[in-house]
């Protein structure tokens, strides 16, 4: 059972950065709490480009929760902006 995964030692500069790194609190809410906290507010239309894979993931989640994916994406951005 003692198989290795093929890991190697990190280069010295990366190892040093990892050792000196500081944990950052995860301030973004879970997708479930975002979906649960959706409420109607005044909205402003915007145009932006996102990766197709990201939009597809948000659409799948929104369908499962019975919400609009654009509203879901908006709430994610709102949560981020509140913690700047």
Please check whether residue 66 lies inside any domain of the structure: yes
How many separate domains does the chain show?
1
Please check whether residue 64 lies inside any domain of the structure: yes
Q: Which residue has the tokens 């790194």?
A: 21
Please check whether residue 60 lies inside any domain of the structure: yes
Please check whether residue 12 lies inside any domain of the structure: no
pLDDT tens digits, one per residue of 49-63: 999 999 999 999 999
Please check whether residue 16 lies inside any domain of the structure: no
pLDDT tens digits, one per residue of 7-53: 788 788 888 888 888 888 888 888 887 777 776 667 788 999 999 99
**Using an 8 Å Cβ cutoff, are 3 and 45 in contact?**
no
Please check whether residue 23 lies inside any domain of the structure: no
Total-model pTM: 0.51
Please check whether residue 18 lies inside any domain of the structure: no
Domain that holds residue 59: 29-82
């Amino acid at each position: 059972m003692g198989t290795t995964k093929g890991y190697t030692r990190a280069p010295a500069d990366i190892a040093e950065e990892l050792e000196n790194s500081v944990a950052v609190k995860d301030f973004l809410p879970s997708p479930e709490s975002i979906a649960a906290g959706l409420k109607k507010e005044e909205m402003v239309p915007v145009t932006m480009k996102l990766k197709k894979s990201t939009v597809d993931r948000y659409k799948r989640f929104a369908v499962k929760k019975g919400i609009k994916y654009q509203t879901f994406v908006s709430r994610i951005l709102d949560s981020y902006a509140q913690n700047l």
